[in-house]
């Protein structure tokens, strides 16, 4: 049986879909069999971020309603050895699927794949309930902003109330320069407030925009800082003990890397 | 030497404000405290205290906030009530 991991946040626009795409691709690059499940019915985007939008025939709702077989709802990503996507339906709404149906779907997928990554929609309504229904592990994505951290806190409460204990935190779009001058909450501030385990920190990186433009996850790009952060996160998910990049010290590793690649001015 | 100050940039940035606001916000969010709840506490407090002390009900202010715990300086949620006293009731010693 594979592991079902839900990627969620509460607030929209913090990088759930980008995170799902990168972690999924990273796990596939590590030799795991992976399926990405877009649970954002009506507002699908994971297909676009992955650059697979032109290959959609069937979607999640078709599979759940048994219009097609499970395998027909999967798109194989030919660039990676064992990576598949099940897109969301674009013309239906959240009520097209029930949590029970999602539970069955993720269970069936977990029989075929080592990792089932569920990209959750924003919010705490039906779509969120569907996304977490079959998950046994959860990743909460936030950015270092008051609104995003507040929503993350609410989501953590809801995950724990739904028996998804020990959600892990991914802090996205940290701006090194702003943290340094005290104008952005740092990792310790956020971990201190949310009081859950930290899975990783992804620096703000223009490369993400470029990757999304091209439909190629940044994790495959060696020059991308965010890509490096995602590679570390993938290793942590697989159980490796990878130290966190230091962002606070003047000459932290990431600052050095940033300097090498010209992201930080001297 | 504080280089930030030297170069005319203030050291303590806005992140402390963000953190403070968040911590206060989350106390309310987590406790799921509604105005009705505070109103109920307020009513019961008035009932109990009025047995002993004559208070100025209109000036009573009650809020959920946070405070530093004396023992270790940790920040903990606190229910703070500001209750103006008119006079002590005489039947009580």
The pLDDT tens digits of the residues spanning A229-255 come to 999 999 999 999 998 876 544 445 555
Q: Is the pLDDT of residue B6 over 60?
A: no
Average pLDDT of the segment spanning B58-69: 76
Query: At CB < 8 Å, which residues of chain A contact B?
Result: 145-146, 149-150, 153-154, 157, 178-179, 181-186, 189, 193
**Least confident residue range of A72-76, A89-93, A228-232, B28-32:** B28-32
Kindly determine whether residue A183 and residue B16, on different chains, have CB atoms separated by under 8 Å: no
Q: Please determine, for residue A140, whether its predicted confidence score (pLDDT) is greater than 90.
A: yes
Which residues is A35 bridged to in the sheet? A84, A116
Identify the burial level of B24 via C-beta atoms within 10 angstroms of its C-beta, where 0-12 means exposed, 13-18 middle and 19 or more buried.
middle
CATH of A3-260, one of 3.40.50.10890, 3.40.720.10, 3.40.50.720, 3.40.50.300: 3.40.50.300
Could you tell me the CA-to-CA distances from A71 to A30, A35, A116, A122 in Å, in that order? 23, 11, 14, 27
User: So what's the pLDDT on residue A78?
Assistant: 96
Closest partner residue to A157 among B4, B16, B30, by Cβ? B30
- The whole-angstrom separation of Cα A143 and Cα B24 is 19
Residue A149 and residue B13: Cβ atoms within 8 Å? Answer: no
pLDDT exceeding 70 applies to what percent of chain A? Answer: 92
Cβ distance A182 to B16 less than 8 Å, yes or no, reads: yes
| Span A207-221, pLDDT tens digits | 999 999 999 999 999
Minimum distance, in Å, between the CA of residue A179 and any CA atom of chain B: 8
ipTM over 0.85: no
Minimum mean pLDDT range among A2-16, A80-94, A217-231, B37-51: B37-51
The residues spanned by each domain of chain B are 34-88
Each domain of chain A, given as residue ranges in start order, spans: 3-260
The answer to whether A133 and A100 have CB atoms below 8 angstroms apart is yes
The CA distance from A55 to the nearest CA of chain B, in Å, is 43
Higher pLDDT, A115 or A265: A115
**pLDDT for position B89:** 81
* Element housing A161 (H / E): helix A146-161
Residue B81's pLDDT band, with cuts at 50, 70 and 90, is confident
Count chain A–chain B contacts defined by CB atoms under 8 A. 42
**pLDDT surpassing 60 at residue A259:** no
Q: Do B22 and A150 touch (CB under 8 A)?
A: yes
């Amino acid at each position: 049986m594979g592991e079902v991991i839900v990627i969620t946040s509460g607030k929209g626009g913090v990088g759930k879909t980008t995170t799902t795409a990168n972690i999924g691709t990273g796990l596939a690059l590590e030799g795991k069999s992976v399926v990405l499940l877009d649970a954002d019915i009506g507002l699908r985007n994971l297909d676009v971020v992955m650059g697979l939008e032109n290959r959609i025939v069937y979607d999640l709702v078709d599979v759940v309603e048994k219009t097609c077989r499970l395998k027909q709802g999967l798109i194989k990503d030919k660039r990676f050895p064992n990576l598949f996507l099940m897109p969301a339906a674009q013309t239906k709404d959240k009520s097209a699927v029930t949590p029970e149906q999602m539970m069955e779907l993720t269970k069936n997928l977990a029989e075929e794949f080592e990792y089932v990554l569920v990209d959750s929609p924003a919010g705490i309504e039906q779509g969120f309930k569907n996304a977490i229904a079959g998950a046994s592990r959860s990743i909460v994505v936030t950015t270092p902003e008051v609104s995003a951290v507040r929503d993350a806190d609410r989501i953590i409460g809801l995950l724990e109330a739904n028996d998804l204990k020990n959600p892990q935190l991914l802090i996205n779009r940290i701006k090194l320069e702003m943290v340094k001058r005290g104008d952005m909450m740092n990792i310790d501030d956020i971990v201190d407030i949310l009081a859950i385990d930290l899975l990783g920190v992804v620096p703000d990186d223009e490369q993400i925009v470029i990757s999304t433009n091209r439909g190629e996850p940044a994790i495959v790009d060696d020059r991308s800082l965010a890509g490096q952060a995602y590679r570390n996160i993938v290793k942590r998910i697989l159980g490796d003990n990878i130290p966190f990049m230091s962002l606070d010290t003047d000459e932290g590793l990431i600052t050095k890397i940033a300097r090498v690649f010209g992201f930080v001015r001297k | 030497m504080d280089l930030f100050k030297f170069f005319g940039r203030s050291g303590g940035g806005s992140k402390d404000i963000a953190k403070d606001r968040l911590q206060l916000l989350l106390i309310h969010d987590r406790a799921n405290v509604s105005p009705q709840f505070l109103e109920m506490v307020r009513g019961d407090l008035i009932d109990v205290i009025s047995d002993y002390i004559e208070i100025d009900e209109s000036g009573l202010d009650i809020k959920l906030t946070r405070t530093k715990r004396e023992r270790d300086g940790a920040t903990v949620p606190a229910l703070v009530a500001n209750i103006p006293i008119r006079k002590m009731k005489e039947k009580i010693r």
